[in-house]
């Protein structure tokens, strides 16, 4: 497949720059594959399309306040995005901008001098090229015992996607709450699993009362989620690796749903990747590790019956995954319809339910 098959033109005004006033007020494009029908509703109407015995699977990762700014001894400004721990105390992998001018052993002051960042090394990949991320030791001055998660929560800001343009700190307080799912529990992501941003405790409770169960997985979304596919042949793309956990209780919930004739509905592409990555290796089972699974058209889905997802960037692995699930031409048609109907796109945008 050629990459241009997953391209489309989006009017700039349809890129959502802020969340809707209420989470569940987002628009919902519903496509029921068996019936061949499409409807335009709201996320608040989701219960009308789910049945008693269905299982909603959620990603409970929590977005880190991972973005910090520092200065070199020269006064030059450097942006840091702390991505994940290395296992060594206080040492994390971090994207730095600019990265090429930094040197191992260099010390920068961050958060107006409250933090010290020591540049350790920039590993090389298998082909000898510098890795995207540096390893960095981050410490709070005068408080070496403070762990990095606490430091980030105190001094960092939520790293919004690059297509959201804000002046200064506009919206930062709102983003702390709204660029986070209401069921986020496990810190570790640098981007939100955006399909879950539409849920409220009240909506989840109403679905439960209607007989729809919920279960959870964890996939810590990494910065690679925003990287476009850069090869012409889609099959040749290589995915980034992300940390995940599939707990035993979720495996049981899937098995019980299957036995009872219910459907497994994934809230977001991250949930699809967890379930299908484990199932691809054999029987679904509890597992904790990393996955670089790449799902493109022709993939055999073993677990997923339905997908709630936002509208994704052109030429992205996320759009390719959705196309694998619903069909390339059908997704292209649905995206055209969403654009004609004025749906809002990307992280703070509207949603689509595919069953």
pLDDT in tens, 12-23: 999 999 999 999
Query: Do 189 and 150 sit in the same domain of this protein?
Result: no
Cis amide linkage into residue 51, ω under 30° from 0: no
* Range of weakest confidence among 154-163, 198-207, 245-254, 273-282: 154-163
pLDDT in tens, 283-325: 999 999 999 999 999 999 999 999 999 999 999 999 999 999 9
Separation CA 128–CA 326 (nearest Å): 38
Separation CA 308–CA 43 (nearest Å): 10
Percent of residues, the chain, with pLDDT higher than 90 = 83
In a domain, 172, yes or no: no
Where in the chain does DSSP place strands (E)? 27-32, 37-42, 55-59, 61-63, 67-71, 77-85, 91-97, 107-110, 115-121, 134-140, 186-189, 213-219, 242-246, 264-267, 287-291, 306-310, 351-354
pLDDT at 131 over 90: no
3-state secondary structure of 188: strand
Separation CA 171–CA 217 (nearest Å): 29
In a domain, 170, yes or no: no
Query: Do 71 and 22 sit in the same domain of this protein?
Result: no
Query: Do 224 and 123 sit in the same domain of this protein?
Result: no
CB distance 284 to 57 below 8 Å? no
Query: Do 304 and 210 sit in the same domain of this protein?
Result: yes
Burial of 257 (0-12, 13-18, 19+ CB in 10 A): buried
pLDDT at 221 over 80: yes
Query: Do 189 and 296 sit in the same domain of this protein?
Result: yes
CB distance 59 to 271 below 8 Å? yes
In a domain, 13, yes or no: yes
Q: Which residues contact 105 (CB under 8 A, 6 or more apart)?
A: 118, 119
Q: What is the CATH number of the domain that holds 118?
A: 2.40.10.240
Let me know how long the chain is. 355
In a domain, 163, yes or no: no
- Structural domain harbouring 52: 3-63+178-354
In a domain, 226, yes or no: yes
Tokens of 118: 């020591």
pTM of the model: 0.94
Q: pLDDT tier at 169 (50, 70, 90 boundaries)?
A: low
């Amino acid at each position: 497949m050629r990459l241009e098959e997953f391209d489309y033109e989006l009017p700039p005004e349809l890129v959502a720059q802020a969340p809707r006033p209420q989470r569940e007020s987002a628009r919902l494009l519903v496509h029921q594959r068996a019936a061949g029908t499409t409807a335009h509703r709201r996320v608040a109407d989701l219960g009308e399309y789910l049945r008693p015995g269905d299982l909603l699977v959620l990603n409970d990762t929590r977005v880190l306040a991972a973005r910090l700014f520092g200065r070199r001894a020269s006064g030059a400004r450097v942006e840091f995005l702390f991505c994940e721990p290395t296992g060594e105390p206080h040492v994390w992998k971090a994207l730095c901008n600019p990265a090429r001018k930094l040197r191992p052993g260099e010390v920068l002051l961050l958060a107006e001098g409250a933090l010290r960042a020591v540049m350790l090394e920039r590993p090389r990949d298998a082909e000898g090229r510098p890795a995207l991320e540096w390893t960095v030791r981050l410490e709070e001055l005068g408080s070496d015992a403070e762990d990095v998660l606490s430091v980030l929560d105190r001094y960092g800001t939520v790293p919004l996607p690059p297509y959201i343009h804000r002046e200064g700190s506009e919206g930062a307080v709102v983003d702390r709450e709204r660029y986070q799912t209401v069921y986020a529990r496990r810190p570790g992501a640098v981007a939100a699993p955006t399909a879950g941003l539409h849920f409220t405790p009240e909506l989840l409770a109403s679905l439960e009362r209607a007989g729809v169960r919920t279960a959870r997985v964890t996939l810590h979304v990494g910065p690679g989620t925003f990287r476009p596919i850069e090869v012409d042949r889609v099959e040749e793309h290589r995915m980034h690796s992300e940390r995940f956990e599939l707990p035993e209780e979720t495996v049981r919930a899937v098995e019980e749903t299957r036995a009872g004739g219910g459907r497994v509905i994934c809230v977001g592409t991250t949930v699809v990747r967890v379930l299908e990555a484990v199932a691809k290796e054999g029987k679904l089972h509890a597992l904790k590790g990393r996955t670089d699974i790449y799902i493109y058209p022709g993939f055999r889905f073993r677990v997923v019956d339905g997908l709630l997802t936002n509208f994704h960037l052109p030429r992205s692995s996320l759009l390719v995954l959705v196309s694998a699930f619903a069909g390339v031409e059908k997704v292209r048609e649905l995206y055209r319809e969403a654009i004609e109907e004025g749906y809002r796109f990307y992280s703070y945008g509207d949603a689509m339910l595919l069953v």
